[in-house]
Amino acid sequence: MTTKMAINAKDIFRNQHRLIRFIEQSIRLCSNQSLKAAQQQQQQEKSTTADFEISASVNTQYTHAPEPIKHNKDLGDLFKASQMSVRLATPQQLHTKPDNDEELGFGKLFTDHMLKIYYHKSLGGWQKPEITPLENLVMHPAAKVLHYAVELFEGMKAYRGVDGKIRIFRPDMNMARMNLAAQRSGLPTFEGKEFVKCLSRLLSIDSEWVPHTEAASLYIRPTLIGIDPTLGVASSDSALLYSILSPVGSYFKTGSGDGAVSLLADPSYTRAWPGGVGNRKMGSNYAPTINVQNEAAARGLQQVLWLYGEDHQLTEVGTMNIFMFYINDQGEQELITPPLNGLILPGITRDSILAMARQWGKFKVRESVFTMPMVSELLNQGRLLELFGTGTACVVSPINRINYMDQDLYIPTMEQEKPVHELIRDTLTDIQYGKVDHPWSMVID
Ligand SMILES: *Cc1c(COP(=O)(O)O)cnc(C)c1O
């Protein structure tokens, strides 16, 4: 076993909490051998992706480059990671880490620390970043977030690579997306690079919470809320940008055992509309989906397929982007996903898949609207090969059935010999878990 921790007195005092954790972790590691198992599995898997060997020379151009942030003139001071203060949890405040990384579920446990950055216009703008023990927030009951859902969030992950290093994936994309949502919410914008530096520090403090297995990762939830204690529907002059961390296993409980999910496609519900904010990760987009999700569950279906318009366009599945792999009218294999027309959340997984698939050049790749009547017809003609959702939480989620207008459409996603969704999933996770060196992966030190 190796450790970066040099044993000298100064380090012991400064890293007391880490030392305790390190000893606990060592005991866990020795007993469950999860790292060894992961390494063995990696060796076995090597052969399956050899077909599409990808390297650091992959085209890293953005499919849709994030727009540079334009700060409002009266924003005030920006924050800098170098101004950060750190208040560590006492040994008594440290939480017990989960024993079994495979049974984590999603977002139920949180790490010992959090990051907080306040914005107060009256104090000149952004304040100094702080890392504190994970603690409850105190706010005025009139805080705008509690009345008008002045809130937005991000979803990222930290992965422990096969080399033991911790990596995050394309964080610049999350920061750009977050700033666009801030702008649309009348909330203050910030420098994404500085926030990523703050997050890196938080991750290194809580690094032992990053699971030692490829079946799990540490979910990062940056959040921005308006906390002005006034009831006007207006820009918030005070805001809180914070992040919490949560060790997570796989996102979905699937019904079928093979990992595929079934969907409810009911055209009477709409998730997003032109001119709206369906393309931003704002809390207000998600509350109205919960009842529909419950209805799907009551009908024995796992997720909602969100349709739009008279022609029943497929837009997203649950909180994922959607992809279809099929034989097009020219008889060619084609991967298709809806375009970023305002109804679609600009997923980072989505963008990465488009960039990779275009570089592979093995099949056509297109961003275009497709509809339920098209899906039915392709199924009837045996031309629909795979349908899957994509996102940070699940990477790739294959779909095996859609309940549409009281009919079950069976999708042969799991019946393909060399499924494209598996190739995509394996390639992305190879990058995320550091099996291949790639500029999309950023190592935290
Ligand atoms: C977060 C999210 C996605 C996926 O985005 P990623 O950046 O790939 O995680 C897709 N659709 C919705 C509605 C989302 O909230």
Per-residue pLDDT tens digits for 183-230: 999 999 999 999 999 999 999 999 999 999 888 999 999 999 999 999
Distance 289 CA to ligand 1 centre (A): 14
Q: Record the tokens describing residue 144, joined without a space.
A: 């705008």
Residues 166-181, mean pLDDT to the nearest whole number: 97
Query: Ligand 1: which of 321, 394, 424 to mutate, judged by most atoms within 8 Å of the beta carbon?
Result: 321
pLDDT at residue 445 in the model = 82
pLDDT at residue 307 in the model = 98
Q: Which residue has the higher pLDDT, 174 or 27?
A: 174
Q: Is 155 in the pocket of ligand 1 (CB under 6 A)?
A: yes
pLDDT at residue 104 in the model = 82
pLDDT at residue 19 in the model = 54
DSSP E strands in 154-266: the ranges are: 156-160, 166-169, 217-226, 238-248, 261-265
- Report which protein residue has its CA nearest ligand 1's atom 14: 319
- Angstrom CA distances, 255 to 316, 391, 413, stand at 20, 19, 15
Can you list the pairs that 112-116 forms with residues at least 24 positions away whose Cβ atoms lie under 8 Å? 112/17, 112/205, 112/206, 112/209, 113/88, 113/89, 113/202, 113/205, 113/206, 113/245, 114/202, 114/242, 114/243, 114/244, 114/245, 115/198, 115/199, 115/201, 115/202, 115/242, 115/243, 116/240, 116/241, 116/242
pLDDT at residue 103 in the model = 73
Residues 30-46, mean pLDDT to the nearest whole number: 41
Q: Is 21 in the pocket of ligand 1 (CB under 6 A)?
A: no
Ligand 1, residue 281: give the atom nearest the CA: 15
Pairwise CA distance, residues 109 & 98, whole Å: 8
Distance 194 CA to ligand 1 centre (A): 23
Domain 63-250 has CATH 3.40.50.2300: no
pLDDT at residue 181 in the model = 97
Q: Which residue has the higher pLDDT, 1 or 99?
A: 99
pLDDT band for position 421 (50/70/90)? very high
| pLDDT, mean over the chain | 88
CB 347 within 8 A of CB 391: yes
pLDDT band for position 47 (50/70/90)? very low
Stretch(es) of the chain classified as CATH 3.30.470.10:
63-250
Q: Is 427 in the pocket of ligand 1 (CB under 6 A)?
A: no
pLDDT at residue 53 in the model = 44
pLDDT at residue 45 in the model = 41
Residues 283-311, mean pLDDT to the nearest whole number: 97
Query: Ligand 1: which of 159, 271, 345 to mutate, judged by most atoms within 8 Å of the beta carbon?
Result: 345
pTM of the model: 0.86
Q: Which residue has the higher pLDDT, 114 or 45?
A: 114
Inform me whether the pLDDT recorded for 31 exceeds 60: no
Q: Which residue has the higher pLDDT, 226 or 44?
A: 226
- Report which protein residue has its CA nearest ligand 1's atom 3: 320
Pairwise CA distance, residues 281 & 283, whole Å: 7
Distance 156 CA to ligand 1 centre (A): 10
| For helices 348-360 and 171-184, angle between their N-to-C axes, nearest 10 degrees | 130
Comparing 190-199, 255-264, 352-361, 388-397, the range with the smallest average pLDDT is 255-264
CA 400 to chain centre: 23
Stretch(es) of the chain classified as CATH 3.20.10.10:
261-421
pLDDT at residue 41 in the model = 46
- Tens of pLDDT, residue by residue over 95-153, are 988 877 667 888 889 999 999 999 999 999 999 999 999 999 999 999 999 999 999 99
- Tens of pLDDT, residue by residue over 54-69, are 443 445 555 556 667 8
Q: Which residue has the higher pLDDT, 362 or 36?
A: 362
Which three-class secondary structure state does DSSP give residue 107?
A: coil
CATH of domain 261-421: 3.20.10.10
pLDDT band for position 252 (50/70/90)? very low
